[in-house]
Chains A and B, each alone.
Chain A
């Protein structure tokens, strides 16, 4: 029986419990002397319904995990399983096939050896379906009854229901945190595997990058795993070129929007700017690759720089800078707007002009917030993938010439994970080490930025 049916049953039981409990609470209300309950009837209803739904939900999840194993165990115990081959891979194939026929997802067995197993599977499935169904009914009924017996006119159903709701909310927020932890753990695990094959020193300080996914995995050449060119490319494109474009443009647009633009203009300029943040990065990517990069190359050739690449760090960096503008400008906008009006008035009352006030009072006062915004933007830029994949090239060049192709950490992660290497090859695993370094850097940047923003907020409260 599919879990959907069990779930449906659970919901049905919950609904029944809800209705019965509400009827009971209404009865309390009409019988009580003053017609007052400690909680509204709906809360009594939810109390019972939750007592049915939560245990059943837990049971169904456990059952979904456990029942296939139980079925398999009982089939293996049957006499028909005696002639199964020893080799685990073959045996599993036969078992899977027989199971598929038994539960109706396949029409006939492909492998003759699976045929005698179909009948035991059918029996086991039928048996455990019945058990699952009955267990759901019994658990639902027992829990529901227990909860129902608790109902009294002065029973504080509301506080219990609210506690449950709070627990559910907490669980929801925990999911995100636990996922982050899970990412870190898996990254760390694979990174250590990689560092078991290639020393971290070679990885972090080597200057040649060119892992060969087809080489002998047991004997990697550590001199091909030097990630410095990738780190340099990442920083050069994401933190230098992109920021040279994004910081002045973002800051100036924030100043214009907060200080000069009138209300009507601001009302549509600001959302328009924020649309930039919503453009899919792949669109920026082909804009960079098809429009900006050739333009830069032609320009370079026109001014006499020969050998300009059609894939260049400059193209990727500039487009990335444009993509980042909304991040810089919206943080700068918020911080400038957060500087108290009193500060602005104080400066204007001293006879300062608007631009003096902005330069000497508003921007310095908003600086922590602006810096934090820039740091968030950098962490966003160095983690950006699509633009560099499409426009920066794949060559791991360690150069300061922005007209040459460069590659970044994110690009190489993509390249390594989608390459031909097997999954436990050091070339593939290097992607995890790269990801780990990137994760640590962006985590550090975000952490510092958020602390700065927090202190900045406190300063004006």
Chain B
């Protein structure tokens, strides 16, 4: 099956480009020949029923599937034209450029400060304490968390509320100044108020980073993203501007999913 691309999708400069990507777990094919572009200035959302492979594909974009011994990736994924699987690009550098936020907030059991400083430290970004302080403050401010935590930076990151933890994780990802941020259902463990804050944050970050978000909530996809890809059974059925996908789906399957007939 070939992905249907909406005709009025204007050309943008692509940050990442996937071409004929297949992902296997042992012999099971989880992603089947997906080709898609991740634009550099927009939020792209991946929607689709559970088990359709959207998280697997997301994890292929920063090689997080490498941590699963049975996983195997075929095809070509490029970041700024450079193949992330076969070129000389180191996985450490790749992940510094392509950050990730997970479904469940996973702050390290360290202080709030050390959570943010973790990335800059391992990548040697900051020169000295002052610069590190600056990065921590800037990242937390960007993530909209600074005012809430500035007086208790030495408290444990795990002591924050769920929503704050997730914003801490976003701040942590921002701290290494990535080009792409991958978000794997970042709000699925949060209440509606915390969710609204994260969505606001995504809107704020939009334009500075290429953001890819996997979500089960179609309202969320509609609210935060400008591009949407509909995944089904390991394939991208339809890809286009979010407004087109939601108001004028070309495929029956997409129509069925967004109107809630299955999924």
Contact = CB atoms under 8 A, between A and B. Distances in A.
Contacts of A346: 102, 106-108, 169, 172
A340 B106 CA distance: 9
A361 B96 CA distance: 17
Given A345-B67, A345-B102, A350 B109 contact: no
Contacts of A353: 92, 122
Contacts of A352: 92, 118-119, 122
B67 A360 contact: no
Interface string A424-461: 00000000000000000000000000000000000100
Contact of B99 (A343, A347, A350): A350
A162 interface: no
B109 A365 contact: yes
Interface in A351-400: 351-353, 356, 360-361, 364-365
Given A356-B122, A360-B118, A348 B64 contact: yes
Contact of A350 (B67, B69, B93, B118): B118
A176 interface: no
A62 B158 CA distance: 60
Interface string A316-346: 0000000000000000000000001011111
Interface residues of A, number: 20
A350 B139 CA distance: 14
- Prevailing SS type, chain A contact patch: helix
Interface string B61-98: 01010010100000000000000000000011111100
A414 B104 CA distance: 56
B31 interface: no
B96 A351 contact: yes
Nearest to B91: A351
A349 interface: yes
B152 interface: no
B105 to A, nearest CB: 9
Interface in B93-147: 93-96, 99-100, 102, 104, 106-110, 118-119, 122-123
A295 B102 CA distance: 55
Please indicate which of the listed interface residues A343, A344, A346, A350 has the most CB atoms of chain B within 10 Å of its own CB: A350
B99 A349 contact: yes
B102 A365 contact: no
Contacts of A351: 91-96, 119, 122-123, 176
A141 B102 CA distance: 70
Nearest to A346: B106
A409 B2 CA distance: 78
B173 interface: yes
Nearest to A356: B122
Contacts of A361: 108
Contact of B109 (A262, A345, A349, A459): A459
A258 to B, nearest CB: 14
A283 B96 CA distance: 53
Contacts of A344: 67
B57 to A, nearest CB: 15
A364 B99 CA distance: 23
B135 to A, nearest CB: 13
Interface string A257-274: 000001000000000000
B104 A342 contact: yes
A360 B122 CA distance: 10
Contacts of B107: 346
A346 B110 CA distance: 13
A348 to B, nearest CB: 6
Contact of A349 (B69, B95, B123): B95
A342 B106 contact: yes
A354 to B, nearest CB: 9
Interface string B155-196: 000100000000001001100100000000000000000000
A342 B158 CA distance: 13
A353 B93 CA distance: 10
A324 B174 CA distance: 44
A348 B100 CA distance: 10
Contacts of B93: 351
Please indicate which of the listed interface residues B67, B108, B123 has the most CB atoms of chain A within 10 Å of its own CB: B108
Contacts of B94: 351
A365 B109 CA distance: 6
Contacts of B110: 364
Nearest to B97: A351
B176 A343 contact: no
Interface of B: 62, 64, 67, 69, 91-96, 99-100, 102, 104, 106-110, 118-119, 122-123, 158, 169, 172-173, 176
26 contacts: A342-B106, A343-B108, A344-B67, A345-B64, A346-B169, A346-B172, A347-B108, A347-B118, A348-B67, A348-B95, A349-B100, A349-B173, A350-B119, A350-B173, A351-B92, A351-B93, A351-B96, A351-B119, A351-B122, A351-B176, A352-B118, A352-B119, A353-B122, A356-B122, A364-B108, A364-B109
- The 10 A-B pairs of least Cβ separation, nearest first, read A351-B95, A342-B106, A349-B100, A351-B96, A346-B106, A350-B119, A351-B92, A365-B109, A352-B122, A356-B122
